[in-house]
Copies of this chain bind each other. A is one copy, B any other.
Amino acid sequence: MLHQARGVYIVTQTPFDGDGGVDHASIDTLVDFYLRHGADGFTVLGVAGEAAKLTADEALGVARRFIARAQGKPVIVGVSNPSIAQLRELTGKVMDAGASGVMIAPPSGSRTEEELFGYFARVFDEIGNVPTVLQDFPFSTGTWMSVPFILELVRRHPQIQVLKEEDIPSITKITRLRAQQDRRIAILTGNNAMFLPLELGRGIDGPMAGFSHPEMLSTVYRLHREGQVQAAHDVFDCYLPLLSYENQSQWGVAVRKEILRRRGAIRHAAMRKPGPALTADDLKEIDLLVTRVQRAVAERA
């Protein structure tokens, strides 16, 4: 049951080959890499997964490959789409393929809460009883949801079992949500995990985020669960300069893919066009930051 989700849900990259095609073999090595570093679940076809650049068939193919390789770990599939018909179609296909649920953000350009309630009523009419992650990522969608609005939406739609919280600040919203909830749902946090140890202190169930070093996510999560709060912060702080560097919108995704390539997780670092490409200056900064992280981690150990 998704409302009991806890642990580290990795927001996955989509690997492409040198010609811009989906690199399915790299999906396998990437999943293995994530699992080796402590992944408890996956979220595929998110914003950082370049979902918006795929065809419908490609999207389905990517989701299936991740599901097939996930060794039974839950896979959540991002299905947000301006067209509810396309959202429904992809939802049906990925649930048939074995997904654990779907992730849906409110559409860009939503104007009022009345309209948003109508939107979600329609969506759930269409997709039926599918476990759903509600994504609260206003800086990407342009659509803000207040705490009272989210609570009411959760009240109306039992399908919402997880909230991916990535408004800023997330921490104050988490506290308010936890204090006022009628029904407990899982809260996982995004924003590339920039506030992970504090968010854990506010009562979340884990990160739903991508990072070139997923071992940080799993270690911080585990330490915090064990009550070692300061140790969790210590580990987190070692990685923070690199985490922050990767937290630079789509350009940060290019950085992340380059490091994943260096670590052998994928064969090619390229993003599908149109997308940023790294320069020699950028690569030197990656060298500097990765070296510093490695040294900090080694010193701490």
Chain B, Cβ-Cβ closest to A54: B85
A145 on the B face (CB < 8 A): yes
Contact among B58, B245, B288 with A85 in the assembled complex (CB-CB below 8 Å): B58
Q: Closest Cβ of chain B: how far from A201's Cβ, in Å?
A: 7
Indicate if the CB atoms of B240 and A241 lie closer than 8 Å.
Answer: yes
Indicate if the CB atoms of A168 and B273 lie closer than 8 Å.
Answer: no
Q: Flag the segment in A5-13, A34-42, A108-116, A219-227 that touches B.
A: A108-116
Contact among B52, B58, B146, B279 with A172 in the assembled complex (CB-CB below 8 Å): B279
Q: Interface 1/0s, chain A 43-80, versus B by CB < 8 A?
A: 00000000011111010000000000000000000000
Q: Closest Cβ of chain B: how far from A262's Cβ, in Å?
A: 19
- In the A-B complex, list the 6 residue pairs whose CB atoms are closest, starting with the nearest: A111-B144, A112-B146, A114-B146, A169-B248, A55-B85, A122-B274
Residue numbers of A with Cβ under 8 A of B are 52-56, 58, 82-86, 89, 108-109, 111-115, 118-119, 122, 138, 142, 144-149, 168-169, 171-172, 175, 194-195, 198, 201-202, 230, 233, 236-237, 240-241, 244-245, 248-249, 251-252, 272-274, 276, 279, 281-282, 285, 288, 292, 296
